[in-house]
Amino acid sequence: MTGGRFDVVMRQAIAVGSRHHPHPNPRVGAVLVDHEGRVIAEQGHARPGDVHAERALLQSFGPLPDGAVLVVTLEPCVHTGRTPPCTEAIIASGVGTVVVGAGDPDPRVAGRGIEALRAAGIDVVTDVETAAVEAADPGYFHHRRFGWPLVTLKQAVTLDGQIAAADGSSQWITGPEARADAHRLRAAHDAVLVGAGTLRSDDPRLDVRLDDHTGPQPVPVIVAGTRPLPAHLRIWERNPIVVASDETVLSGVEVMHAGTGGVVDLRQALVGLGERGILSVLAEGGAGLAAGLWSAGVVGRGVLYIGAKLAGGMGRGAFDRVFATLDDAVDIEIVEVSRLGADLRLDWRPRPSP
């Protein structure tokens, strides 16, 4: 198989891995091809705790044909967790060439998997379609590099930037197409995060309500204040994670503590969520939570739905903080703009420091 074909097969491996949601494990796809590049077998990592993609593929296949190449999206693991190292299975299989899409930033791997394969005499080709591999599982790469989940800030605003009217009403700023898209966005994340104010005003379930949704539901996470939370809300049916600084906010509810003195430390809270296996968080709270996350420097991405409505006055802005001077503004990168019915979706991310 020639080097020019590796990118094509790697894209197929990415597609195989993207069919599954194995967090807190990474999404991994593996494809086995013969010396002419014809696909022999493929496998994705299905669920946390299951055999990893490479090992599962090789276990399901008999003796390998001469010249077979294993194409895998992520550097094979070299440590023992809930399953044995994939490097051992690859070396034992007799495969001569392994093509790796992206190195694993997990410090337990971080180049050691590739070194182990090369030490065993296997030809390893690296950095094939790396950007596409990372784009298929951004939460995993972000968490392993920074120590907390990738936070996507989702907001819906009028054309003139209001998330709600002065009386708090906000349903519905956007139309049905944008609201359905927001449910698809929820489905792509491990958890949905809101503050106590949103919980009281909207009584949300924070679940995915799409007829074709068959994957796991995101974990609901509530950032509580100092006031007790109402006992009658629908969210309690879903066993949410409640984050608070000090006291228990509702009898019988387990609280994850982060911060002190009635103020939740959001970065500490996110680190705690990562320790619970949550690698991607969709923040849907109001202006207070948005301001807190932005001030904490933990927003990695943003999705802004711009409804086809003009408020024509001051209601509630997107961030509950003072914008004192233009110098306080932060440059962002607008990644994509798309139309959803009468509304717009704008995807953005903070611009990296030079």
Query: Which sequence positions are flagged as catalytic?
Result: 54
Identify whether the C-beta of residue 342 lies closer than 8 Å to the C-beta of residue 308: yes
Report the SS3 class of residue 57: helix
Tokens found for residue 320: 């509950």
Residue whose tokens read 């009658």: 232
What one-character-per-residue DSSP string does 117-152 give? Answer: HHHTT-EEE--SSHHHHHHHSHHHHHHHHHSSPEEE
Which segments of 49-92 are extended strands (E)?
Answer: 69-74
**Among 300, 285, 281, which residue's Cα sits nearest to residue 192?**
281
Does residue 205 sit in helix, strand or coil? Answer: coil
Please say whether the beta carbons of 210 and 217 come within 8 A.
no
SS3 breakdown of the chain: % helix, strand, coil, rounded to 5?
30, 25, 45
Please answer whether residues 286 and 316 qualify as being in contact, where contact means their C-beta atoms are separated by less than 8 angstroms.
yes
User: Integer distance in angstroms from the first to the last C-alpha of the chain?
Assistant: 40
